[in-house]
Structure 1
Amino acid sequence: MIELKGVRKTYGQEVSIGPVDLQIPAGGVTALVGPNGAGKSTLLTVVGRLLGADAGTVEVAGYDVARTPSRDLARIVSILRQENHFVTRLTVRQLVAFGRFPHSRGRLTTADEEAVSRAVDFLDLTGLQDRYLDQLSGGQRQRAHVAMVLCQETEYVLLDEPLNNLDVKHSVQMMQHLRRAADELGRTVVVVLHDINFAGHYADRICAVKDGRVVEFGPPEQILTGEVLSRVFDTPVTCLPGPRGPIAVYY
């Protein structure tokens, strides 16, 4: 479980979250949604300790994020931010192998190489593993970065807008991979999404964030209502019945 108690974070003049009290159960996919500037990415990076909280506590699987040594925390939780720009020219396999650093400290063992191969195969990158990142499409590069995170083999996986700059086809494929990671690998996936319908279709739980606070948390059928979404996004939303649950329509 991920548990936040009284978490606050302020930096710059416009970014402020909290107080946040939240419990995300282990297992499945949890989507963080909300308008731009709501604090979704900030909240995610605080959980992953890329940002320190100004107040409150964050625990992941019972470990205090602020007090747990970095090497130990990196075996529990992994995080992928939006900014995935590598200056060094890398192949897909070399990039994915970075996910083994908490285990190998840079000296890959046979077990590490096997983990890299599993992650490459899981994201359907086997045929591309010797290609350089700058030779790939945006969707292929994004899959390679997600493979790197999964290769870390942590129970908790945090992803900040993994659908950013992906078209519909590649967005669907990415969400299918993340759903499989939760179902087949037993990972707890927490993902920041802009598309509420992707959240409703693929997530087990939706956490709606607005003005730096959690305003709704529950299963998709509880969140995907016109009343809730209109209030969260400050715009009229209608939810219509769909083949696999409600579909949000903005107008």
Structure 2
Amino acid sequence: MVEVSKVSKKYGHKLVVEDVSVQVQKGKITSFIGPNGAGKSTLLSMVSRLIKRDTGEVFIDGTEISAWKSNDLAKRISILKQANHLSVRLTIKDLVRFGRFPYSQGKLSKEDERYVEEAIHYMELEDMQDKYLDQLSGGQQQRAFIAMVIAQNTDYVLLDEPLNNLDMKHSVQIMKVLRRLVDELGKTVVIVIHDINFASCYSDFIVALKDGKIIKEGPVQDIITPAVLKDIYEMDIEIQEINGNRICIYF
């Protein structure tokens, strides 16, 4: 379990995350939703220790995150940020191999290569695995980075807007892959996501943030309601149920 207790973060005079406490249950997909500037990405980065907290504590399976050795933490938590810039020229396969670094330290075993191949297969990248990243579209690059995270084979997978640059087909593919990681492999997935219909259809639990604070959290049926969504987004959103999923009509 990930436990966040009274965490805050300030940039200059602006309080971006204010006194946030939340628990992320194991073996579930938890989505962070909310308008721009709500503090979603900052909170995710503090959970993964990418940025420092000003106050508060974060526990991973009962151990405060500051007590984890970096290599041990990298075997427990993987994170994909919004922006991924590399200064070296890599193929997709080379990139995905980076996901095994906490285990291999650069000397990949047969087991490491198996995880790499499985991740490439998961993301349907076999036919382009030898292409260089700078030869790919934005969506293909995004899928390659997600394959790298999958190859890392951590208990907790944190993704900051993983559907960026993806068309409809590949957005659905990514969400189905995340659902499989949870349902088949027992992973715990936390995503920052803007598309509330994807959050509605694929999440087990939703945490809604606004102005740096959690304003509502709970299972999908408690969050995807006109009243709650109006509180979050300040607009009227109609809800229709289709095939058991709550779909938001806001166009």
What range describes the TM-score normalised by the shorter chain of this pair? over 0.9
2:143 corresponds to: 143
Is residue 15–residue 39 contact of structure 1 (8 Å, CA) maintained in 2?
A: no
Is residue 58–residue 64 contact of structure 1 (8 Å, CA) maintained in 2?
A: yes
Distance in 2, Cα, partners of 1:245 & 1:219: 13
Which amino acid counterpart does residue 239 of structure 1 have in structure 2? Answer: I
1:119 and 2:123 matched = no
User: SS of the counterpart of 2:84?
Assistant: coil
Return the TM-score normalized by structure 2.
0.96
User: SS of the counterpart of 1:144?
Assistant: helix
Is residue 96–residue 148 contact of structure 1 (8 Å, CA) maintained in 2?
A: yes
Report matched runs for 1:1-251 at 5 Å: 1-250=1-250
- Farther off after superposition, 189-198 or 111-120: 111-120
Structure 1 residue 244: Cα displacement: 2.5
Distance in 1, Cα, partners of 2:187 & 2:247: 26
Which amino acid counterpart does residue 9 of structure 2 have in structure 1? Answer: K
User: Root-mean-square deviation (CA), in Å?
Assistant: 1.3
Is residue 32–residue 40 contact of structure 1 (8 Å, CA) maintained in 2?
A: yes
Structure 1 residue 187: Cα displacement: 1.0
Residue deviations 1:61-107, cap 9 Å, x none? Answer: 22211221111111110100011122211111000010111111112
User: SS of the counterpart of 1:7?
Assistant: strand
User: SS of the counterpart of 2:171?
Assistant: helix
- Farther off after superposition, 76-85 or 176-185: 176-185
Which amino acid counterpart does residue 62 of structure 1 have in structure 2? Answer: G
Distance in 2, Cα, partners of 1:222 & 1:77: 28
Return 5+ residue gaps in structure 2 as ranges. Answer: none
Which amino acid counterpart does residue 64 of structure 1 have in structure 2? Answer: E
Is residue 96–residue 151 contact of structure 1 (8 Å, CA) maintained in 2?
A: yes
Is residue 7–residue 18 contact of structure 1 (8 Å, CA) maintained in 2?
A: yes
Which amino acid counterpart does residue 236 of structure 1 have in structure 2? Answer: D
User: SS of the counterpart of 2:164?
Assistant: coil
User: SS of the counterpart of 2:36?
Assistant: coil
Distance in 2, Cα, partners of 1:24 & 1:139: 28
Which amino acid counterpart does residue 208 of structure 1 have in structure 2? Answer: A
Structure 1 residue 111: Cα displacement: 1.7
Is residue 201–residue 245 contact of structure 2 (8 Å, CA) maintained in 1?
A: yes
User: SS of the counterpart of 2:85?
Assistant: coil
Identity of aligned residues (%): 50
User: SS of the counterpart of 2:67?
Assistant: coil
